[in-house]
Amino acid sequence: MTRIINSNDIQYMKNYIISLYKKFIPIKAISPDLGGDGEAERADILEKELRSLGLVARRVDAPDKRAKKGIRPNILAMVNGERKDKTLWIVAHIDTVPEGDPALWKYPPYSVTVIDDYVYGRGVEDDGQAVVTAFAVAKYLVEKGIRPRINLGIALVSDEETGSRYGLRYLVDKGVFNDYGGSHYFLVPDAGSPDGSKVIVAEKHILHMRVVTKGKQTHASMPHTGLNAHRLGMMFNLELDKAFREKFTEYDEVYEPPVSTCEPTRKEENIGNINTIPGTDVVYWDCRILPKREIRDVIELAKSLAFKFSSATGAHVDIDVLGYDDAGEPTRLDSPFVAGFLDAIRETRGVEPRPIGIGGGTVARYLRKHGYPAIVWMTCDETAHQPNEYTRLSYIISDIDTILYYLLKKAT
Ligand SMILES: [Zn+2]
């Protein structure tokens, strides 16, 4: 079914993918923020592998004293195309999340178990799949001596799971891609669907905030002598919930889900015993806002409501903004990169691509904020972060074929 890779090459390619997985999946690459040593050891293996493909590997490591060798590694490599003023970068993050409860795994998480078409292990999908896909595309081009229409770049980045400060954001902020001149297209294989039709071209704004409601602690048998922060907190948070739904009614069917969402999530324990009226109530909110609205709109709504509620009840409600991240402009569907890549999906897969926006955050948002066209795409069952994470060799082969088809037939 592949358009570029012939059937004789498929087994050869699968063997390469498995052997590559076995080289790097057993070497844990967990962020110091999650209690790990960082990605340095895994990066060394992958750098060596790039060199063995005959590519020049450039290191742009970010300093981080907490990590092994004091760095968070990032590696760039390139296969030259017929025209050198355009580059398709495949971005693969090399860090993973921990395996979680080992008892939930059918196979050991770090030994790469292959059963028929399935490959099991922590990080084989998220985001080892992007690593093996990018390497196999490069290997194919180098070994066959084929020049793609435009350059193929490989960007191996650290720290995706804990904010990309030492990874892609570090590279973009340093202007590293501009060193290569010309225009840059970004493919981020880090999410997708089983038929390869899902293409993520946009994200929502993200806002995290904390609502602290203060009343007055007292004995539970004498509630009139205090002010129950738990009850008032519930009242306020429900009021905020309702106001949000009334004020943020925009609908955009490009997004999954098609509306802004604002959800109360974490709740701090207020008091350790039952017979005390709590004086403080703390609730956290996670908001995902359609880009046509502004993050400020949500903060202003929460703060004005908090002020009115406090004056009416005698409680004191504070809104703390813990963090926010602007989504940037959605990637345009009529950009030459996106139009060409969607054609490649259509023609190699026989499916109609579905460009969508999501509420989750990927590294693509940092690229979009700098005006680069970026799409998140791969073929997968979305098993990231789960026990028994797996992917399928046939998915990877299909993706390699679609990317090669784009590079050899569609790229302009
Ligand atoms: Zn990922």
- Domain segments of the chain as ranges: 7-203+327-410, 207-324
Say whether domain 207-324 belongs to CATH 3.30.70.360.
yes
Average pLDDT, the chain: 96
Q: How far, in Å, from the CA of 169 to the mean position of ligand 1?
A: 15
Burial class (CB in 10 A: 0-12, 13-18, 19+), 63: exposed
List pLDDT tens digits, range 245-272: 999 999 999 999 999 999 999 999 999 9
14: left (phi over 0), alpha (psi -120 to 50) or beta: alpha
Token digits of residue 33: 């923020």
List pLDDT tens digits, range 84-124: 999 999 999 999 999 999 999 999 999 999 999 999 999 99
Helices (H), 4-63: 7-24, 40-52
Burial class (CB in 10 A: 0-12, 13-18, 19+), 73: buried
State the Cα–Cα distance between residues 318 and 53, nearest whole angstrom: 57
Question: Do the domains 7-203+327-410 and 207-324 sit in the same CATH topology, yes or no?
Answer: no
- Across 365-382, average pLDDT: 95
Q: How far, in Å, from the CA of 115 to the mean position of ligand 1?
A: 23
Instruction: Report percent pLDDT > 90 for the chain.
Output: 98
Which residues are part of the catalytic machinery?
Answer: 95, 160
Q: Is the pLDDT of residue 136 over 80?
A: yes
Single pTM value for the model: 0.89
User: Where does 7-203+327-410 sit in CATH, by number?
Assistant: 3.40.630.10
φ, ψ of residue 168 in degrees (nearest 5): -60, -35
Q: How far, in Å, from the CA of 126 to the mean position of ligand 1?
A: 4
Cβ(96)–Cβ(162) below 8 Å: no
Q: How far, in Å, from the CA of 207 to the mean position of ligand 1?
A: 20
Token digits of residue 316: 């004191």
Nearest CA among 313, 282, 320 for reference residue 299: 320
Q: How far, in Å, from the CA of 99 to the mean position of ligand 1?
A: 14
- Across 13-39, average pLDDT: 97
Cβ neighbours of 246 (radius 10 Å): 9
Cβ(401)–Cβ(2) below 8 Å: yes
Q: How far, in Å, from the CA of 369 to the mean position of ligand 1?
A: 19
